Amino acid sequence: MPGLNIAIDLGTSSVTAFVQGKGIIFSESTAICYDAYDDEIICVGNSAGEMFEKTPESLILKKPIVDGIISDFTSTVKILAYFIDKLCKNSVFRPSVIISAPSGVTSLERKAIVEAACSAGAGKVYVTDEPVISALGAGLTIDNPHGVMVLDLGAGSADIAVITMGTVAYCNSLRAGGDKMDEAIVQYVRKNKDVDIGLATAKKIKHTIGCAQHRSEELEMFCVGKDYITGMPKNFEISSNEIYEAFKDIIEEIFRGIVYVLEQVPPELYSDICSEGILLTGGLARLPGLDKALSEKLTIKVTRVADPEHCAAKGAGYMLKNMKKLEDHGYNFRSKETIE
């Protein structure tokens, strides 16, 4: 297929772009910064993300996808158009674009995403559900009748899906992603240390000592926050086991969400899942001990895939290489002329 064909994983925390024949080109923050007085776009992506919780009154920073749901659609479309234009501006041919959108995107929003992509220079566009392409990125074949369960854990949501023949048969979406864990750390530190910290500090703690089980060797780190009572700077120490305590309720919520889906599936699909296990994808899949903790609670094998945070982008790249096959399976790629 001539021209530059691209796939975009539109996530809560990041936008990842995959270019056919080149692989993953970039992964940048899903953030946009406006001038507060005239709504002029100041910057998009990592440059905007670095301003989080640090912007002056003259600037407005927006992270338009919250808990896996598009909360500011206008800003989301502008971010999408910016990155597609960045990738396509030197392309002679109109590229095909596959976009992985958050779960819960409505048909009207899908149409607007297609329109934005076409306006930015795309030819054919397909908007797909993230669990399906995450499974493809993990190596699931599109025409396999064998049932598989995918647990896609992102910054904003936990998407639980049972997939067979390349489509979602049963699913459940929870607002229980990495952002909620960051908020849990903020609340834990405030309640138990009398210290206020920002989400950026909480994220650093999560990445450094976060865990889903008690560690055999406890880790500790020192941080700086603002004393909740005096308002003065305060140093404090926090351990990995304390972070586990902060995460326990969220991990239990994810477990209950999986059980809910398992209760819906018929016996034959359930048998497939027990045989094949559950695929763990998404950035939060890297949380130490999460696969083991869920496996022990469910008594079903839970496997973290290789490179889980880029599974969706790789799956979309697979779709780019197999567009004819996908169209034969009923996947509806749309062009500017077919938008109704």
Q: Confidence band (pLDDT; 50, 70, 90) for 336?
A: low
Predicted local distance difference test score (pLDDT) of residue 91: 64
pLDDT at 44 over 80: yes
Strands, E assignment, 166-210: 167-174, 195-196
Give the span between the Cα atoms of 333 and 107, in whole angstroms: 14
- Which residue, among 16, 6, 5, 7, has the nearest Cα to 282 in the 3D structure? 16
**Burial status of residue 104 (CB atoms within 10 A of its CB: 0-12, 13-18, 19 or more):** middle
Residue 233 backbone phi and psi in degrees, to 5: -60, 145
pLDDT-wise least confident of 20-34, 299-313, 314-328: 314-328
CB proximity list for 98: less than 8 A, separation 6 or greater: 6, 7, 8, 125, 126, 128, 133, 316, 319, 320
**Domain 6-133+311-338 belongs in CATH node 2.50.20.10:** no
Nearest CA-CA partner of 292 in 263, 251, 256? 251
pLDDT of 1 over the 50 cut: no
- For range 303-327, the mean pLDDT: 80
Q: What's the pLDDT tens digit per position in 111-131?
A: 877 877 787 777 888 888 777
The residues that bridge with 68 in the sheet, in sequence order, are none
User: What number is the average pLDDT over the span 82-93?
Assistant: 76
At the topology level, CATH places domain 144-304 in Nucleotidyltransferase; domain 5 (3.30.420)
Q: Are the folds of 6-133+311-338 and 144-304 the same? A: yes
Backbone angles phi, psi at 100, to 5 degrees: -90, 115
Per-residue pLDDT reduced to its tens digit, 246-284? 999 999 999 999 999 999 999 999 999 999 899 999 889
Residue 309 CB contacts under 8 Å (≥ 6 apart), including other chains: 282, 283, 285, 286
Percentage of the chain exceeding pLDDT 90: 41
The domain ranges of the chain are: 6-133+311-338, 144-304
Residue 329, pLDDT above cutoff 90: no
Find the farthest-apart pair of alpha carbons in the chain and give their distance in angstroms, rounded. 65
